[in-house]
Each structure stands twice: as structure tokens, then as C-alpha cells.
Amino acid sequence: MSGANGEAPRTVVIACHMLEDEVKAAMAAAGADYEVVWIDEGLHVKPEKLRAAVQEAIDEVALRHGAGGRMPPLQKDGGQDGDAGCVDRILLAFGHCGGMADGLAARGAELVLPDVDDCISLMLHPHRSGKETGVYYLTRGWMRSNTNAWCDYGRMAERHGAEKATKLLKRLLDAYRAVSLLKTGAYPAEDYEPEARRLADWLELTYETSEGSVDWLADLFRGGGKTKGERYLRAGPGQTLRVPLP
């Protein structure tokens, strides 16, 4: 998709805040400097709320940047110079995330979404076939978030006490056999291995590491599938994004 008068499309990224390390590294790798609108990672547990928040962000971007009109942008997280220009393309740095992207639409811009089940699969090394069953993946973003296992335990302990909270959390994670630190190259993974090992020990799970990558995100920021064979879902201006059922 080209912008007005055949110019490069003006682009904004909407991303899960848990991917901040990887989004910034991928942006640098792609030589891109887009505005990023961050979405609270805690919304992942309720896809319908995540969808509402992403749609609200899309609408706000369209309003500020004039998809159908021109308005001066609000202060943003770096990126393209602050003139009041129209947005032609919105890149969504998410996976399907429980179907949250189904039904999203932008009034005057193209939407581009990686066609992948979730953010973990988006960050796994491109030569891997996908996530392993029974593996609980970690990144620095996950460890810093308010949705990690330590925080879940803290909330349970406040309500039920420490002993019962431990039993409840282990029951919730009963299907997992291992904790794996995902080395995406976007943060110093060795600094976070001790914490990841402690979590594995506490949950009585095996500790592993997995090779990750920001290649798919970098490809998204280079133009959304134009430089590599990865798959994307797209919706033109005014169209509705449709996510296939798993």
C-alpha cells in the first residue's frame, strides 16, 4: 500500500507492552522509527477487553492523524516527525491472542497483523516449527509485567493465604513440564536466568532456554511481508480484519 501521491505510507505501530524490548530491537533492525502506541499486557487474559482496547487505540490514531481529516498528533513515543499527517497503515504487533484481532477495523488506514497464534510464536526463532506443548515461556517483558506467575501468586495469597495460593498456582500450571527463558536477542537473557530458574524450581518444573528472534517483527516493520515469506492478515481502509479459526 502506498501513501498519498505515491509516497511511502505513513505508519503507526500498536503493540503489546510486554513486547517492548522486542519491538524496539526489531524497529532498530528494520531501520524504522514509527510512533508506537502501547497496550496494557494485562488485557491478554480477557481477549474481548484486549480487542476493545486495540480498537480504541486504532480509532484514536485515526482521529489524531486524520484518517479522513487532519488533526495535530498528541505527544508520542518517538518516531516520525510530529507534523499533522494522515496515517496510511497501522501495524499490529500481536498474534491472534485468543481471537482478539477478529473484527478490528480502521476507517482510513490498512491494518496488518502477523498471522500467528500468539506473541510467543511471534518471537520464536523462525527456523523452529512452533511452541512446544507443556512449556511455560518467559521473557524479560513477561517478568516485568503484572501478569507473571509471581504476581498471580501474590494476588492469590492475599485472598487465600500463602499455602493455598501455592497449591492453586501449581494446579493452574499442572499441564506444564518446563519453564523456558526465550532468548530473543532483545535483552541480556543471562541476567534473567537466575529468576527463571527460581520460578522453575518453585513450580517443580524443568528449566530450559529457547532460541528466539525479532526477525518476524523486523519484517513487519519493513513493510509487512514484502521482504520475507511470513504470513500476514490484512484489512484495507474501512474493511474488517478477519482471523481464521484455529
Q: Residue 67 — pLDDT band, cuts 50, 70, 90?
A: low
Instruction: Write down the pLDDT at residue 19.
Output: 95
What are the structural domain ranges in the chain? Answer: 4-122+214-235, 127-211
Percent of the chain clearing pLDDT 90 (strictly above): 53
Q: How many CA atoms lie within 13 A of 51 on its CB side?
A: 17
- Sequence-distant (6+) residues with CB within 8 A of 142 are 18, 148
Helices within 81-148 (DSSP H only): 119-123, 140-144
- Sequence-distant (6+) residues with CB within 8 A of 220 are 26, 91, 93, 112, 114, 232
pLDDT, average across residues 122-151:
84
Q: Model confidence over 114-133: pLDDT tens digits? A: 998 888 989 986 666 678 88
Predicted TM-score of the model (pTM): 0.84
pLDDT, average across residues 150-160:
87
pLDDT, average across residues 139-157:
86
Instruction: Write down the pLDDT at residue 8.
Output: 58
From CA 47, how far away is CA 101, in angstroms rounded?
9
Strand partners, 37: 14
Instruction: Write down the pLDDT at residue 229.
Output: 46
Task: Check: CB of residue 62 under 8 Å from CB of residue 68.
Answer: yes
Q: Residue 226 — pLDDT band, cuts 50, 70, 90?
A: low
Q: Model confidence over 32-43: pLDDT tens digits? A: 999 999 999 888
Q: Residue 230 — pLDDT band, cuts 50, 70, 90?
A: low
From CA 175, how far away is CA 177, in angstroms rounded?
7
Residue 28's CB is within 10 A of a number of other CB atoms, namely 14
